Amino acid sequence: MTVAGSGLGGGGDAANVSRTPCAGGGPHSKPGNASKNGRSCHHDRGAGRRPSQRALPAETLWLSRRSGDHTDGKLPYLAAKLTNGASANGEVSKNGKAGVNGGRRSDASIVKGWRYINKDGFTREPLKIAIAGGGAAGICLGIKLLEAQKDGRLGDIDVTIYERDQDYGGTWHANRYPGCRCDIPSHVYQFAFAPYADWPQFYSSSRDINKYMHVVAQKFGVEPLIKCNRTIISAIYSEETAKWTVEVETKGSGVETVEVDIYVPATGVLSQVNRPNIPGLDDFPKDRVLHTAEWPANLDYQTAFKDENVAVVGIGSSGLQTIGAIAPFAKSVSIFARSKFWISPPMLTEPAGTREWKGGNFYYSEAEKEEFATDENALYKHGSALSAATMHLFDVFFRDSAEQENMKATVRELMRADLREPELIAQLVPEWSHTYIAVALDSRFDLWCRRVTPCVPFMEAIHLPTVSLLMNPIEKVLKKAIVTKNGQQHEIDRIILATGFDTSFKPKYPLRGRKGVELGDVWKVRPKAYMSLAVAGFPNMFIMCGPGTVFANGSLLAGIEANAKYIVDVIAKMQSQDIKSMEICQENQDEYNRQQDSLMADLVFTSNCSSWYKSGRPDAPPDALFAGSTLQFMELLASPRWEDWKYERRHENKYSFLGKGTSSVRRYGYGRRVSTEEIVDPTSSIADSQIEGKGGDRAFYLTKEMHRNPLKLSDYREPTNGAIPINI
């Protein structure tokens, strides 16, 4: 909407502020939404309306047109104040004239009714950020925020990571069950910015990954930001203040309420224990029921089960791993399973070279770890070869592709060879989906439809005489037995629930956005987000590992890093450009998801198996996953599409942040090389003479590398394009 006679308008003109944010910038743009210079400018909403409609705060950046230019001839509020000798930031100048810097400003600084505010350019508004969850995602985001503050991209930020458990580490702290380990090589399941020389094994145990997370959190200075034993019990957005009110419960000592500018749920999708609803389970002695994700720290599986008949319910990754570990040490193990699964030999082994494999794993020698610690080339060569191999995992995800069919046939043969017994082969090897619905609709059970687990110990354990596989559904649990639907009763002393997690993505606490809308209600049918990190209707909330992320292909940590970097970019933009709130446009979120759904239909994840990607329902869409490769996800998030967002500005003038023309090198040392040493205090302005001394660098855009091979006059050659040769 353009108001006649609005002066320069382009950018700062409140009259050009769209009343229909998000209406364009894409295929849905309407001609009427474009400003008069032809560019659409409907993504921003000023903090208020036109100046004549309300009283403006003294520090507002919007300075109204001079009385002479004004169509209604009235002198707007702030212009009147200025002519009374107030400076742009509301201060009266020494000589009593309107202006900045003690009255140095002349009338020339009022251009067609606009004037800047007297503040450093790109001044960062202090921001308070609450991150829920101290797993890999929360840790990574904390680190990236601190790093951005150090290199001057962020100013004053107050970050707290609230962790429900007594320690941080997330998955790798909570999952202590025997045999728990990563299905991705250690040198791939690590942050790119924090390669680790001390991985003990090719596939790491949960314990070793947890140790790594602690080393990372300490080394990168994020540990002090993590508050453990704190559960977020509600998060409510206020449209008026554009802030989140977050309630945090501390174990044993009540509830604290904090108001923050930005709320980041990083609560994980595999973090809410799923307890199956089996008749009679509650009557089974409680101290004899274990969930894999709640394994007691002091339970020694090598001795605890020697006189026990153990039931393991479920054969997802955690069930397979638990069985592989405990079976040799238990009196008997009965496996209660419903679904077939894909199990593979160790994957991605070639780049590791010749090794002494045992149980599908190997130990790095002390000499090799020492070499990794001291020779960056050796560590880089090993890590990058394994990472490149992991990133290959995408073509195989296309249904009916030659890669998928070949790999499926190979894994099937390997499973048959390992299982040996025809009955086991018939029970476990996915030839087609065994569910009735699946057979009726689509019989395919493609490889990677559910995560493929390399688990040699399970393949060995299944042949033990003490282990039995029961593919019949459980009817009920008695005090000392489990009864299956075929009427058989199995004597049991202990039940291990390997039943995974509630993967619905619905928050377990009230999380309300605009107009009090619950995220749980928005996600009732399908959990959908924009690029896994934002949801329309929830401004200033940015998710780590939301629905639609790269859970299926390779190491999630690569995706987490990309996700964290994106959120830092968003926060840096908000902070340095006077943005009060940012919200993803519903239509862009929807269109993005249409693209995702259409590609997903051709990927194996939509084939008919039950997996946590679909909340366990074989016929549900795999909303947990990104439809694309990890590399594409990284590339996508590396360049935010700012045009997909709508903005609410702190001031009418969307260029308010340019202030009095200074670069942020002055205050924040923007462009400083990242160092852990001196950090410019982002809350105080630095005198011009102090900038370099305080870590700033006004020549930050010059590097030593640029000066390594300077141009020389002798580089000159005769032009080849017909231009006249110069006389040298």
Ligand X SMILES: Cc1cc2nc3c(=O)[nH]c(=O)nc-3n(C[C@H](O)[C@H](O)[C@H](O)COP(=O)(O)OP(=O)(O)OC[C@H]3O[C@@H](n4cnc5c(N)ncnc54)[C@H](O)[C@@H]3O)c2cc1C
Q: Least distance in Å: CB of 33 to ligand X?
A: 38
CA nearest to 400, candidates 606, 647, 567: 606
Does 216 engage in binding with ligand X (CB under 6 A)? no
Between 228 and 470, whose beta carbon lies closer to ligand X?
A: 228
Does 149 engage in binding with ligand X (CB under 6 A)? no
DSSP code per residue over 530-594: BTTTB-TT-TTB--SS-SSBSSSSS-HHHHHHHHHHHHHHHHHHHHHTTEEEEEE-HHHHHHHHH
Tokens of 275: 């307890």
CB 288 within 8 A of CB 494: yes
DSSP code per residue over 41-79: --SEE-SSS-GGGSPPPTT-S--PPPTTT-TT----HHH
Place of tokens 């950090």: 679
Place of tokens 């840096």: 572
Distance CA 107, CA 100 (A): 11
Does 624 engage in binding with ligand X (CB under 6 A)? no
Size of the site for ligand X (CB under 6 A): 33
Q: Which stretch binds ligand X (CB under 6 A): 56-64, 162-170, 356-364, 617-625?
A: 162-170
Type and span of the H or E element at 233? strand 230-238
What is the SS3 string spanning 480-505? CEEEECCCCEEECCEEEECCCECCCC
Distance CA 452, CA 364 (A): 24
Does 318 engage in binding with ligand X (CB under 6 A)? yes
Between 35 and 175, whose beta carbon lies closer to ligand X?
A: 175
Q: Give bridge partners of residue 344 from the DSSP assignment.
A: 454
Does 164 engage in binding with ligand X (CB under 6 A)? yes
CB 552 within 8 A of CB 449: no
Q: Which stretch binds ligand X (CB under 6 A): 127-135, 237-245, 363-371, 646-654?
A: 127-135
With a CB cutoff of 8 Å and minimum separation 6, the contacts of 688 are 666
Name the burial class of residue 687, with classes exposed (0-12), middle (13-18) and buried (19+) by CB atoms within 10 angstroms of its CB: exposed
Q: Least distance in Å: CB of 215 to ligand X?
A: 15
The only residue of 18, 33, 87, 171 in contact with ligand X, by rule CB under 6 A: 171
Does 545 engage in binding with ligand X (CB under 6 A)? yes
Does 182 engage in binding with ligand X (CB under 6 A)? yes
- Report helix, strand or coil for 446: coil
The only residue of 77, 357, 509, 655 in contact with ligand X, by rule CB under 6 A: 509
Between 82 and 557, whose beta carbon lies closer to ligand X?
A: 557
Between 232 and 686, whose beta carbon lies closer to ligand X?
A: 232
Q: Least distance in Å: CB of 504 to ligand X?
A: 14
In the chain, the N- to C-terminal Cα span, in Å, equals 58
Q: Which stretch binds ligand X (CB under 6 A): 35-43, 181-189, 239-247, 535-543?
A: 181-189
Does 396 engage in binding with ligand X (CB under 6 A)? no
Does 136 engage in binding with ligand X (CB under 6 A)? yes
Does 271 engage in binding with ligand X (CB under 6 A)? yes
Does 165 engage in binding with ligand X (CB under 6 A)? yes
The only residue of 60, 64, 175, 334 in contact with ligand X, by rule CB under 6 A: 175
The only residue of 117, 157, 258, 270 in contact with ligand X, by rule CB under 6 A: 270
Between 270 and 311, whose beta carbon lies closer to ligand X?
A: 270
Cα dist. 413→338, 360, 393, 418, 419 in Å? 22, 17, 20, 9, 10
618 Ramachandran zone, left/alpha/beta (phi>0; psi -120 to 50): alpha
Q: Which stretch binds ligand X (CB under 6 A): 165-173, 216-224, 419-427, 467-475?
A: 165-173
Q: Least distance in Å: CB of 173 to ligand X?
A: 6
Q: Least distance in Å: CB of 167 to ligand X?
A: 9
Q: What single letter denotes the amino acid at residue 313?
A: V
Between 169 and 696, whose beta carbon lies closer to ligand X?
A: 169
Q: Least distance in Å: CB of 138 to ligand X?
A: 6
Does 561 engage in binding with ligand X (CB under 6 A)? no
Does 163 engage in binding with ligand X (CB under 6 A)? yes
Between 184 and 438, whose beta carbon lies closer to ligand X?
A: 184
Tokens of 212: 């790594």
Between 137 and 680, whose beta carbon lies closer to ligand X?
A: 137
Distance CA 262, CA 235 (A): 11
Between 40 and 231, whose beta carbon lies closer to ligand X?
A: 231
Q: Which stretch binds ligand X (CB under 6 A): 17-25, 175-183, 294-302, 415-423?
A: 175-183
With a CB cutoff of 8 Å and minimum separation 6, the contacts of 130 are 160, 162, 232, 235, 244, 246, 258, 260, 262, 263, 264
Q: Least distance in Å: CB of 553 to ligand X?
A: 9
Q: Least distance in Å: CB of 347 to ligand X?
A: 11
Q: Least distance in Å: CB of 168 to ligand X?
A: 7
Cα dist. 569→129, 148, 403, 542 in Å? 14, 9, 37, 11
The only residue of 62, 114, 162, 284 in contact with ligand X, by rule CB under 6 A: 162
Q: Least distance in Å: CB of 381 to ligand X?
A: 22
Does 628 engage in binding with ligand X (CB under 6 A)? no
**Contact residues for ligand X, defined by CB under 6 A:** 132-138, 162-165, 170-171, 175, 180, 182-184, 189, 231-232, 266-268, 270-271, 317-318, 509, 544-545, 555-556
